[in-house]
Amino acid sequence: MIPTVKLTEIFRQAATSNNIIINAHQVNKGILPDLTPTKTESDFYFIEAEHGEDIINKIIMMIRDHIPNKFNLNPINDIQLLCPMQRGGVGARSLNGLLIILMSRTKKLQ
């Protein structure tokens, strides 16, 4: 047997990260979070796309441009992308490799 643990409390989010906390709790309870865009400042984004290539382009745009500009963050040091799967075109392995290449190019241009 391999010991396992389950995250039951959200510890690492700032008090202002309400939408991430609320939606994380809903996902843990098996409830689909409210995906309606808000008009107020939000740290939670649901990005819909029909094809893998579309979502990859949207993720890159969010990490490279939108989030750093909106929140004054460094895309290399301050942003974390979470993926529900490891394999596939939009899985963590593929996106991680793509983002490493993208961020190394961005760093060289600075």
Give residue-wise pLDDT tens across range 10-56.
665 555 557 777 887 888 788 888 887 766 667 777 878 888 788 88
Residue matched to tokens 């990490």: 63
Percent of the chain with pLDDT over 90: 1
Phi/psi for 12 (5° steps) reads: -95, 5
How many domains is the chain built from? 2
Among candidate residues 52, 101, 94, 99, the one with its CA nearest the CA of residue 79: 99
Q: Domain of residue 17: give its range.
A: 1-46
pTM: 0.63
The answer to whether residues 58 and 99 belong to one domain is: yes
Among candidate residues 38, 89, 87, the one with its CA nearest the CA of residue 59: 89
Element (H, E) at 58: helix 52-61
The answer to whether residues 61 and 38 belong to one domain is: no
